[in-house]
Homo-oligomer: A and B are copies of this chain.
Amino acid sequence: MTRARIAIIGASGYTGAELVRLVTSHPRMEIAALAADRNAGKAMGDVYPSFAHMDLPRLVATDDIDWSGIDLAFCGLPHATAQAVIGGLPRDLKVVDLSADFRLRDAAVYAKWYGHEHHAPELQDEAVYGLPEFYRDALKTTRLAAGTGCFVVTGLMPLLPLCEAGLIDLDDIVIDAKTGITGAGRSAAEWKLFSEVTEGTKAYGIATHRHTAEFDQELSKAAGREVVVSFTPHLLPMNRGILATIYVKGDPEAIQAALAARYAAEPFVQVMPMGEAPTTWSVRGSNMVRIGVTPDRRPGRAIIVSVLDNLVKGASGQAVQCANLMLGFEETEGLMLAPMFP
């Protein structure tokens, strides 16, 4: 069985490192190139000592990659940079982008939330939204997948089926999300220091977080009308995990039943029995999403809790899931990782 040859651009970031972890244990992939412009020339084990014992290609500049013979590239660069780099890649190369650059299909919406014109609008048209549970067929034939926002996938998994089925009031969706800090990446900043984060919490980006636009886009598409959500992220003193607490109006029994039915055959989504709520500990290190529905004490309302590991199902794991589809592999190949607890 031949292996697909994989390049990882932006390998020295956290999503890049997580891709290395996943790809090196994937039975049908092998790493052909690792790119990290600022760290070019270094061994991956110098940038991540956890990989020091592994036989990995040395980091190179993206421009120095020889693309012949490479089947697929993961791109873990920051937004704006990603669109420039991906625009310059060979046209026949399959690409899974993990940035925000190709998630929004409307160039005007992109410009509004990200503050500048999109530099590769033609790729924006071509990109398929990288949520396999909802874009499976399109992902099998696309050459460019747009990795989903980590908060967004956490919220969309329960909300998309409910918007599609008209089971909730589309004008009253509140998403209160809690995240570990790895979603903020590895660049140094005072607010990300251990001394500033441990033993406390805060809300941030209230009503202005960029993932909001992505929520609106996908939920509106599912509902067939405009949906505008309230979304508030919070930073927690932990590395991995997102928990979204979602307040909706609708019949809790119908909601739970619809979700359970929708995801019964999905390998990476588990809907819990009525009244149970999942924890982030239960998904750490894995590609799982777990969803629980509890009736609110006020009739006709439900509280939905959805969890995942932001670096796996929220980023690199989902990217590998997309790549499996794009490469014609089993969708679960290399991704049936048991969560790591404790």
Contact = CB atoms under 8 A, between A and B. Distances in A.
A317 interface: no
A72 interface: no
A187 B195 CA distance: 11
Interface stretch (A44-52, A136-144, A154-162): A44-52
A342 interface: yes
Interface string A299-342: 00101010000010000000000000000000000001111111
Interface in A32-57: 48-54
A57 to B, nearest CB: 15
A17 B25 CA distance: 21
A201 B247 contact: no
A241 B199 contact: yes
A243 interface: yes
Interface in A233-267: 234, 236-241, 243, 245, 247
A181 interface: yes
Interface residues of A, number: 86
Contacts of A301: 230
A208 B181 CA distance: 30
Contacts of A305: 203, 206
A234 B178 contact: yes
Contacts of A53: 270, 288, 290
Q: Report copies per complex.
A: 4
A284 interface: yes
A5 to B, nearest CB: 19
A189 B188 contact: yes
Contact of A49 (B186, B208, B236, B279): B279
A297 B228 contact: yes
A244 to B, nearest CB: 10
A195 B239 contact: yes
Contact of A281 (B200, B234, B303): B200
